[in-house]
Structure 1
Amino acid sequence: MVAATDESLMGVRDRAILLVAYDSLCRRSELVSLIFEDLTINNQDGSIKLKLRKSKTDPQGIGKNLYLSNEAQLALKEWIDKSKISSGKIFRAITATGKIKDSLNSSHVGRIYKKLAKLSKMDASIIKNISGHSMRVGAAQDLMLSKASFPVIMDRGRWSKVDTVMRYVELNSHHINS
């Protein structure tokens, strides 16, 4: 799906959304709540640190630093540079005329994934099952397939209950024992 993005403003945004969502295991509501003020950009090496202020399992708002791969950091930096965002929400809606709005509704996340899946020429049976949680599910399943422990998966996805993680990874659990 990343390969289906282009260099347009929307393509750059969508690539950043995909990569940040996958690496961070953000829920769609968390993804659209990320703000510029929670970014720390190292001017020497260009690396980016991103903090999630508040999540479903962190109602006190203690926050958590999110892991981002080099590829996700580059995509996020490209989006920030191209969009000229310097405060407020990081991920924002873009009108058909290319105007950047103030925010992005969490319901748009699944639509972006489905659009990119169609552009990737994925089978319709797969596309119909894509949702705003698909990057989170896929990342959790990939962590399980890479033999990450449950505590590691729970920490990365900010889950507080093992049974919740099990629902995310159960589809691939048969691959682990093969």
Structure 2
Amino acid sequence: MSSGLRLVGVVASVRIQGFLLLAVSLVSCAPAWTGGSRQVDPVMTVGCALLFFVTTFSALLKARRPWYEARLENLTPPAPTAEVIARDKTFDVLSQNLTKPLILVLLVGLALAYATGLPVGLILAGVGAAMLWQSRWLAAEEKRLGGRVLGPLAPVRVAADDPNGPAYRQSRFWIVREAS
């Protein structure tokens, strides 16, 4: 009997989420680059774009490394009742889980870029790029630890009575050492 707790590879998860968020966020900026409903000075547009992107990129890098390090220090094997999502199924599972939030990001970004003439989507593009950058370090840590680091596959909206709620809130990591 499964506990219902599903685990995915942390490195793959961060890479997939970062790539999808970066792509959607960049597309949401299109109205700003084509003029939108307002003509904004190109220098101001580029300045805002750099400010949006660099601020969130650097803030996430700075805040996330200690968060990951704390979880990597307490690795244990997963419970036998946990379901480990296979590497080749990870993209499908994550992309299905993220479809609605990504569509919302796209629509809000398009609306804001059209209304303001500014590439507001670059705020989340900075987050996506930082996730991709951070995934390089995570992959090196995973290799150093000699196993696949797993994290919980949390639904976008967690029900109050979900028995896995505490595991989602803790966001702890597990490790599976794979035979060569």
Q: TM-score, normalised by structure 2?
A: 0.23
Q: Per residue, is there more helix in 1 or in 2?
A: 2
Q: Look at both structures and tell me which one has the larger radius of gyration over its CA atoms.
A: 2
Higher relative contact order (Cα pairs below 8 Å, separated by 6+ residues): 2
